Amino acid sequence: MCGITGYIGKKIATDILVDGLKRLEYRGYDSCGVAGISPKSELYLKRVSGRVDALDALIAKDPLKKGVVGIGHTRWATHGVPSEDNAHPHTDCNKQVVIVHNGIIENYLDLKGRLLKTGHKFKSETDTEVVVHLIEEKLKTLNVSGAAARGAILEPVFFEAVRRAIAELQGSFAMAVLWAKCPNMLLAARQHSPLVIGLGDGENFIASDVSAFLKYTKKAVFMNDGEIAAVKADSVSYFNFQGKKLDHSPVTIQWDSTMAEKGGYKHFMLKEIHEQPESVENTLRGRLLPLNGDILQQEINLPSELIKNIKGVQIIACGTAYHAGLVGRYVFENFGLPTSVDFASEFSDRAKIVNKDILVIAVSQSGETADTLYAVREAKASGGKVLAITNTLGSTLTREADFVLYTHCGPEIGVASTKAFIGQMAAMYVLAIHFAVIRKNIFEADARKYVDEFLKIPRLIEDTLAGEGAISKVAECFAQSEHFLFIARHINFPIALEGALKIKEISYVHAEGYAAGEMKHGPIAIIYKGMPVLAIATTSKMLSLVANNIEEAKARGAEVIAIVDEDSRKIIKASKYIVVPKTLEILSPLLTVIPLQLFAYFVALSKKCDIDKPRNLAKSVTVR
Ligand code: F6R
C-alpha cells in the first residue's frame, strides 16, 4: 500500500506533493513526508508520524526550501512501526539520495547485512532504507566523484546506479528517487506495485494513482512491471530494467478532480453511498441490450464460443469484492452456470482445478490487490482465461487479465467500499444475463423481464436512500452495542456478510454475518438479551424460514431490526423495521445492502470514529 507522489516542473514542489498526498491518504495514513532539492542543490526533507494534515501544519510553521522537484509519501506500515524515523522519504548516509517506496523488499535483510558490513549506517527499521543505501553504493562503484570532477553529465550515472540497485531487489516496489547532484531528473521504477506518470505542460508528475495529479493533467502513462521512467520537467523517457528504451503512448483519464472531493457530504463514505444510483446506471449503461451478447463481444472482446463452451465459473476476490463474488455465484447459478467463489488469498492450492473449461472472474475495485493479482497469475498458469471486473483504468489487473469489464463507479476514496460493491454486483448481473442468453439457458423474453426490472434499480436505490433519516435513528438506538449479528438466507446471505464487514471496519465493534439457517447449529448461543440482530427479510421463497429464524433469535432476547419490503413487513415481527422497495428476489441485494451501509455509517458517526480512514486499514492492499 502507501501512496507516492513526485513532481518536477516550475512550481513549488512541496505544495503539489502535499496536495497529492492528501488525495492518496486512502492508501495508508500512519506517517508521511516530503523531500526536495533546492535551487542550490541542497536536499531538504520533512516527515511526521501521523496524517498529511499534521505534515501540512508543520510545513506552514517551519517552511521548507522552495525547490521545483520533490517526492512525497504517505505510509501504511509493513516493516517497522509507524514513527517519524520509519516515515518516508529515506536518505542515504550522506543525505544526497532520497527515496519513497511502496511495496516490500523481500531480501532486505540480506542486503542490509551486506551494506552494514561496508559501513552504511541505518536510521530506520524499514525495508525501504536498504534501497537508498544500495543506490549510494552503486554510485560509489560508478565513481561519481571522478565523473563529477571530469564534468561528466551525471544523469546517465544516476540512472545506471538506480538500475543496478533495482537488479538486486526481490519483492514488490514502486519507487521514486532523487539525487541532489542531479536535480533535473526524477527516477521512478515499478515492479508489482502501481505507478503512473502524469504528463503536464513543462511539468510532470509521479503518483501511485491518478487522483494525485488530476487537478493538473489528465494525460497519463501507466507504467508496467519491470520499467524505469526518467522524469524531467519537459520530457519523460521509459526503459526496461535492462536499460533498453521503450515507447509509451499516454491515455486520457475521464475522471475529473472534483469527482474525488466530498461535494458537501461530511464523509466520502456517505457521498459514495449516495452515488450508488449513478454507479449502477453507469455500469449498466449501453450494456444490457441487445441481449445477444454483441455488446460484450465489442466492448470486452469476450468470444461467444468461449461463453458457450465453458463448464463453470471461478470467482476470486478479497473483502467486499469477495462478497460481490458470492452474490455473483447465486446469479450465475440461477441461470444454470456452476460457479465457485474463493478468497483470492486462499485460492493458491485450488488454482490447479482451473482449466480452459473454467472462466475465472477476478473482481477488484482497485485492480491492484496483491492477493487477487497472485491468484490471477496462478489461474492463468493453470490454463484459465481471466475476466477482470474492476473500477480502475490502467490498473495491473487490467493488464494481466484476458478480458476486462469496467465498473464505471468513479473514484472511491472512502476506505470502506460501498459504491464499488454495487458496481461489482451490477457487472455480475450484466454478465450472467448475457451468458444465460448466449448459452440458451434462458429465453430472450424472460431475460428481457430481468432487464426491465434491472433498469428500475437505480431509481429504487434512490427511494431506499430517501429513508436515510429513519435508518440513522435506528442506528443511534444501537450505537453503543458491542456486538452485532447480521442474518439472511440465499442471495442475501453475502449482504449479511457485507453488513457485518462494514460495521467492523468503521466502528471497530464485533459483528458477524451468518446464514440465518445456520444460527441454530451453534452461533445462536452468543445471543444475549438486547443484542441487535439485523435480519434481511425481504420477499423471497425463503421468507417463512427467515421468519422462523427471527423468532428463534427473539426468543433468546435479541432485538431484531428487520430489513423488509412492504409485503414482507406484514409477515415479519421485529423490534424495528427498515423498509426497502420491492423488486425481484434475485435483484434484491442491490437494495438491501443500502440500509446496512447507512446503518454502519451512522453507528460509526455516533461513536465519532474516523469513518473515511479507519484504523489499521488501507484502501488498496498491495501486499500479500
Ligand atoms: C472493504 C474493503 C476491502 C476491499 C478489499 C479488496 O470495505 O474495501 O475489503 O474490498 O481489500 O479490494 P479491491 O476491490 O480493490 O481488490
In this prediction, the residues of the chain whose per-residue pLDDT falls under 70 are 1, 149, 151
Residues 294 and 222 in one domain: no
SS3 content of the chain, % helix, strand, coil (to 5): 40, 20, 35
C-alpha cell at 36: 526536495
- At 447 the pLDDT is 93
CATH code, 288: 3.40.50.10490
Task: Answer with the one of 237, 261, 285 that is the final residue of a domain.
Answer: 261
Evaluate whether residue 70 is within a structural domain: yes
Mutate which of 369, 503, 611 for ligand 1? The one with the most ligand atoms within 8 Å of its CB, which is: 369
- At 144 the pLDDT is 77
* Cα 319 to middle of ligand 1, angstroms: 5
The ligand 1 atom at the shortest distance from the C-alpha of residue 502 is 7
Evaluate whether residue 470 is within a structural domain: yes
Burial class (CB in 10 A: 0-12, 13-18, 19+), 151: exposed
Residues 201 and 312 in one domain: no
Ligand 1: list residues with CB < 6 Å.
318-321, 364-366, 369, 372, 416-417, 501, 505, 620-621
Residues 401 and 372 in one domain: yes
Residues 6+ apart with CB under 8 A from 69: 7, 8, 9, 13, 36, 37, 178, 183, 184, 186
Calculate ∠ Cα 295-298-302, nearest 5°.
Answer: 90
- Please give the DSSP secondary-structure letter assigned to residue 26: G
Structural domains of the chain, count: 3
Residues 620 and 579 in one domain: yes
Residues 231 and 297 in one domain: no
* Cα 363 to middle of ligand 1, angstroms: 10
Mutate which of 26, 322, 417, 424 for ligand 1? The one with the most ligand atoms within 8 Å of its CB, which is: 417
pLDDT tens digits, 372-420: 999 999 999 999 999 999 998 888 999 999 999 999 898 899 999 999 9
C-alpha cell at 404: 476486462
Q: Whose CA is nearest to atom 10 of ligand 1?
A: 320
- At 315 the pLDDT is 98
Evaluate whether residue 460 is within a structural domain: no
Evaluate whether residue 593 is within a structural domain: yes
Active-site amino acid positions: 2, 619
Evaluate whether residue 309 is within a structural domain: yes
Residues 60 and 159 in one domain: yes
Task: Answer with the one of 401, 433, 455 that is the final residue of a domain.
Answer: 455
Q: What are phi and psi of 529, to 5 degrees?
A: -60, 125
The ligand 1 atom at the shortest distance from the C-alpha of residue 392 is 15
Residues 434 and 545 in one domain: no
pLDDT tens digits, 417-451: 999 999 999 999 999 999 999 999 999 899 999 99
* Cα 395 to middle of ligand 1, angstroms: 15
- At 151 the pLDDT is 64
Q: Whose CA is nearest to atom 9 of ligand 1?
A: 319
DSSP string, 446-460: HHHHHHHHHHHHHHH
Residues 402 and 470 in one domain: no
Residues 208 and 108 in one domain: yes
The ligand 1 atom at the shortest distance from the C-alpha of residue 421 is 10
* Cα 155 to middle of ligand 1, angstroms: 40
Domain span including residue 402? 265-455
Task: Answer with the one of 227, 261, 295 that is the final residue of a domain.
Answer: 261
* Cα 219 to middle of ligand 1, angstroms: 27
- At 143 the pLDDT is 80
